[in-house]
Amino acid sequence: MKILVINTGSSSLKFRLFDMRGLVRLASGLVERIGEARGRALLRYRTAAENRERTVERSGPITDHGRAMEEMLSLLGEAGLLAHAGELAGIGHRVVHGGEVFHRPVRIDTRVLEAIAELAPLAPLHNPVNLVGIRAAMAQAPDVPQVAVFDTAFHQTLPEHAYLYGLPYRLYEEHRVRRYGFHGTSHGFVSRQAAGFLDRPYGSLNIITLHLGNGASGAAIRGGRCVDTSMGMTPLEGLLMGTRSGDLDPAILLYLAREAGMDSDELDDLLNRQSGLRGLCGDNDMRTVIGRAEQGDGRAALALRIFCHRLKKYIGAYSAVLGRVDCLVFTGGIGENAALVREMACRDLENLGFILDRQRNLHRTEGIRPIHDDASPVRILVVPTNEELEIARQVVEVITPSEVQTS
Ligand code: ADP
């Protein structure tokens, strides 16, 4: 049973092909610089015969997402992984914003396409582009079931008191202003993985998940239901990120508009692309920031401290929201790899029940690993995220009738 997972950006298309019997990733790849003179398509896969990793690359003009999709299918065909699109059991599409409409993944039909388009004002940079990808895939594989998986869906269980802002209620009614949260596929996946690792029913656990990549967000999950999350109406709120500010006093924007004459586009660029680690120390990549800090660079060390202070505040806040915490999960490129960040985020939290084991924290192994001290009331885990596999799993759930799933 082959499932293709597609993540469409404005000039790129990332994809992974899975065989769901055995949950094997058959290939991953990317088509980039779509619409530019020098496009590039890349495929990585493991050859069955030699069990060797192979990379195939092509370059040339790729005029639009339809051509990108053809390129992807042709690469998969040449590698002997997919004879034709009709061989796929399903295609999963990552869609950024599902608003209040989509609480779970759905099979795509005309009504779903209209609803995703209707949500475009909430995610103007993402939803329209996601739609372009879906339409291109539907044209290439008209008979294959297509499923939309939403970044926001996992957070649709948030109670009203967690998703409403302290703004006039009519802004929620008239303009849908509320917290939606993002990275939902990852928060859902790693929290379920953690429950499996701990061999406890998902519904019995209170879990804090920290997804720390270029974007970063936290979630408080009670008995398998998300009850709070740090990203808001857009992915800008909450933790400090590579280039995004995270939380700040909204009056700063008014001040900058008044005093520095900045307009909304300039403020957008400032908050989303020039802030965070980059704004504080000039680098947005955590590896570089840590490297510089270790060489004695004061500004990089400060950026790192601010990043970890913000993490600590959210761990504390979500401990209070949940009342009892069973497990803290670190994931994403930073969460999975930066031992120093985990150590700084958990430092001095012993009284709240978070006791890290320094050696375990430094020790790197594949897969899920516990990094807490044996005496720690809260289990602290590093759980590698795999959003694409989770999307593929959700596609199977949607396209398989429930009587087959349970048999
Ligand atoms: P994205 O959000 O784009 O999926 P990732 O989850 O891959 O990003 O995370 C990227 C971040 O992870 C970058 O800041 C990168 O520096 C950081 N990172 C990756 N490996 C390490 C490492 N070994 N130590 C510290 N940070 C790392």
Q: Which atom of ligand 1 is nearest to the CA of 242?
A: 14
Average pLDDT over residues 45-59: 86
Q: Which of 290, 334, 340, 342 to mutate to test the pocket of ligand 1 (most atoms within 8 A of CB)?
A: 334
pTM of the shown model? 0.94
386 CB within 6 A, ligand 1: no
332 CB within 6 A, ligand 1: yes
Same fold across 2-150 and 201-387: yes
Among residues 19, 64, 151, 249, which one is catalytic?
151
Q: Which atom of ligand 1 is nearest to the CA of 284?
A: 14
245 CB within 6 A, ligand 1: no
210 CB within 6 A, ligand 1: no
Q: Which of 209, 214, 304, 383 to mutate to test the pocket of ligand 1 (most atoms within 8 A of CB)?
A: 214
The mean predicted confidence, pLDDT, of the chain is: 95
Element (H, E) at 191: helix 184-198
Average pLDDT over residues 288-315: 98
User: Is 367 in contact with 384 (CB distance < 8 Å)?
Assistant: yes
Domain boundaries, the chain: 2-150, 201-387
Q: What is the 57 CA–ligand 1 centroid distance (Å)?
A: 24
335 CB within 6 A, ligand 1: no
The two three-digit tokens of residue 389, written as one number: 């596999």
Q: Is 18 helix (H, G, I), strand (E, B) or coil?
A: strand
Antiparallel, parallel or unpaired: β 379-382 and 327-331: parallel
Sort 38 into a burial class: Cβ within 10 Å, 0-12 / 13-18 / 19+: exposed
The pLDDT assigned to 279 comes to 98
What is the Cα–Cα distance from 243 to 273, expressed in whole angstroms? 5
Of all protein residues, the one whose alpha carbon is nearest to atom 23 of ligand 1 is: 337
337 CB within 6 A, ligand 1: yes
Q: What is the dihedral of CA 351, 353, 358, 360, to 10 degrees?
A: 170
Average pLDDT over residues 157-185: 98
Average pLDDT over residues 86-109: 96
Which of the listed CATH numbers 3.40.1550.10, 3.40.50.300, 3.30.420.40, 3.40.30.10 matches domain 2-150? 3.30.420.40
The pLDDT assigned to 2 comes to 95
User: Is 119 in contact with 151 (CB distance < 8 Å)?
Assistant: no
User: Is 214 in contact with 241 (CB distance < 8 Å)?
Assistant: yes
The two three-digit tokens of residue 334, written as one number: 């930073």
Give yes or no for residue 405 having a pLDDT over 70: no
The two three-digit tokens of residue 15, written as one number: 């994809």
The two three-digit tokens of residue 353, written as one number: 């029940």
384 CB within 6 A, ligand 1: no
The two three-digit tokens of residue 59, written as one number: 């370059």
Of all protein residues, the one whose alpha carbon is nearest to atom 7 of ligand 1 is: 333
303 CB within 6 A, ligand 1: no
What is the Cα–Cα distance from 382 to 329, expressed in whole angstroms? 6
What is the Cα–Cα distance from 80 to 2, expressed in whole angstroms? 13
Give yes or no for residue 270 having a pLDDT over 80: yes
- Give 342-394 pLDDT, tens digit per residue: 999 999 999 999 999 999 999 988 999 999 999 999 999 999 999 999 999 99
- The confidence band for 332, taking pLDDT boundaries of 50, 70 and 90, is very high
Cα 28 to its chain centre, rounded Å, is: 17
User: Is 327 in contact with 279 (CB distance < 8 Å)?
Assistant: no
Active-site residue 326, yes or no?
A: no
- Give 273-284 pLDDT, tens digit per residue: 999 999 999 999
- Give 194-206 pLDDT, tens digit per residue: 999 999 999 999 9
Q: What is the 333 CA–ligand 1 centroid distance (Å)?
A: 3
What is the Cα–Cα distance from 235 to 171, expressed in whole angstroms? 19
Residues 278-308 as b or e (16 or more Cβ within 10 Å = b): bbbbebbebeebbebbeeebeebbebbebbb
The pLDDT assigned to 407 comes to 37
The 3-state DSSP composition of the chain as helix, strand, coil percent (nearest 5) reads: 45, 20, 35
- The confidence band for 23, taking pLDDT boundaries of 50, 70 and 90, is confident
Q: Which atom of ligand 1 is nearest to the CA of 289?
A: 16
Average pLDDT over residues 218-229: 98
CB proximity list for 135: less than 8 A, separation 6 or greater: 113
- 20 or 251: which leads in pLDDT: 251
What sign does the dihedral 61-67-68-72 (CA atoms) show?
negative
Q: What is the 332 CA–ligand 1 centroid distance (Å)?
A: 7
Q: What is the dihedral of CA 166, 167, 172, 176, to 10 degrees?
A: -90
The pLDDT assigned to 52 comes to 86
243 CB within 6 A, ligand 1: no
Residue 155 is classified by DSSP as G
What is the Cα–Cα distance from 32 to 298, expressed in whole angstroms? 37
The two three-digit tokens of residue 358, written as one number: 């320094």
Beta bridge partners of 280: none
Percent of the chain with pLDDT over 90: 91
Give yes or no for residue 104 having a pLDDT over 60: yes
The two three-digit tokens of residue 288, written as one number: 């570089």
Average pLDDT over residues 55-84: 93
User: Is 352 in contact with 358 (CB distance < 8 Å)?
Assistant: no
Give yes or no for residue 402 having a pLDDT over 70: no
- Give 240-266 pLDDT, tens digit per residue: 999 999 999 999 999 999 999 999 999
Give the closest residue to 348 by CA, choosing from 380, 312, 322: 312
Of all protein residues, the one whose alpha carbon is nearest to atom 4 of ligand 1 is: 213
- CATH code for 201-387? 3.30.420.40
290 CB within 6 A, ligand 1: yes
Element (H, E) at 39: strand 39-46
Of all protein residues, the one whose alpha carbon is nearest to atom 12 of ligand 1 is: 333
